Amino acid sequence: MTLRSIIAAIATLAVATACQDKPDPVVAAPNAAIDRDLLDVTVPRLRQLYADKKYTVTDVVNWHLKRIDRYNGVYGAIETVLRNQALAAAKREDAESGGTHGPLWGVPIVIKANTSVKGQVTTAGWEGFTRPGHELIAPKDATIVAKLEAAGAIIVGLANMPDLANSDTNRSSSFGRTGNAYDVRFSPGGSSGGVVTAIAANFAVLGNGTDTGNSIRMPAATSALFGVFPTRGLVSTAGIAPLDWLLDNTGPIARTAEDAAIALEVMAGPDPLDAVTLGSPATAQKPPYEPAIEAGALRGKRFGVPAFILAGDGVPFHGIPATVPDAAAESYRVGANMALRPETRAMFMKAVDALRAAGAEVVIADSILPTGFARAPSACGL
């Protein structure tokens, strides 16, 4: 065989191989379609996709698990992936025929790592709860976990959080750092930052946050999500590792107000394991909450914005030792003030304008919360 014929044979083989390896666009289309349908999917939209039989629950759960496999190494949102458990639950739901499904049927969710899931280590972000032979293994589900699963939700993982929820960032000794889904160089806030990043990165549709001093509200705000801090007693905290028995609370984190309302309906209700939830006053707003999400719902409502927020007089929350003389402490407070960046202020005022356009009254005044509110907690006993 001549050199020319050998080269020709190799070229022919290469062309044939290239043609065999080239992906068929017909085969690739379903992946593109499911990406388009499930990115930032909401609960009502997911219900419609199921009703149209476009996807099975297993399809949807697998899609989210693949997102975790691909991107969790970047974002660090999920401490424990519950792959086998999630796929088994999806298979059971796919086998169900007819009947009425729960409000969260087939919805992939994440659970914050301080919330008990039966048989799993409740790390609460602390490496001490993961020590071999001394793991804090949950003997049963937290009340809200049992309610969410009974409503058809499927847990795909346990979300990272700072140690014992005692931080407004999201770095844990049991797992590591969680980055913001919009820019991993920044924090998603804490202590529910793992849940927030998981939802924003499309690892799940919903999640539960816990809040003792802003741990649902602040992280949700960093990633354009909706977090609900319910009145204490509306939702049970039984089965959640405590930070402060008097102030601890739990509520949903979601992409839309409607999704949050649907999840809150599932989570709310009396629980004999949490005495605070028993005997709520007759005036308490009870489910359903979803119908309240309608045009005109904000008309006549009144919102207050403490003026010190816009002035930047909030940095002193970082703390000043109580041993520092008053004059020096005040000088530090003034020097630490940091006005909102122009772009941040513009976005904030855009939200205020949107509330007003929807018929709400927004009051920005010192009388709502005086500057002293921000200053008082800054003196800590160190």
**Catalytic residue set:** 112, 191, 215
Separation between Cα atoms, residue 230 and residue 372, nearest integer Å: 26
Task: State whether the Cα torsion 247-252-257-261 is positive or negative.
Answer: negative
CA 114 to chain centre: 14
Compute CA distances 43 → 1, 53, 165, whole Å. 66, 15, 28
Separation between Cα atoms, residue 311 and residue 50, nearest integer Å: 48
DSSP assignment, residue 379? E
Note whether 274 and 238 are within 8 A (CB). yes
Q: Which is it for strands 249-254 and 206-211: parallel, antiparallel or unpaired?
A: antiparallel
Is 173 in a helix, a strand, or coil? Answer: coil
Give Cβ neighbours of residue 143 (< 8 Å, ≥ 6 apart): 236, 238, 239, 271, 273, 274
A 10 A CB-CB count for 319 gives: 12
Q: What is the amino acid identity at position 89? A: A
Residue 61 region, left (φ>0) first, then alpha (ψ -120 to 50), else beta?
alpha
Q: What share of the chain is helix, strand, coil (3-state, %, to 5)?
A: 45, 15, 45
A 10 A CB-CB count for 326 gives: 8
Per DSSP, the residues of 21-71 read: HSPPHHHHHHHHHHHHHHTT--HHHHHHHHHTTSS-HHHHHHHHHHHHHHH
Separation between Cα atoms, residue 144 and residue 104, nearest integer Å: 13
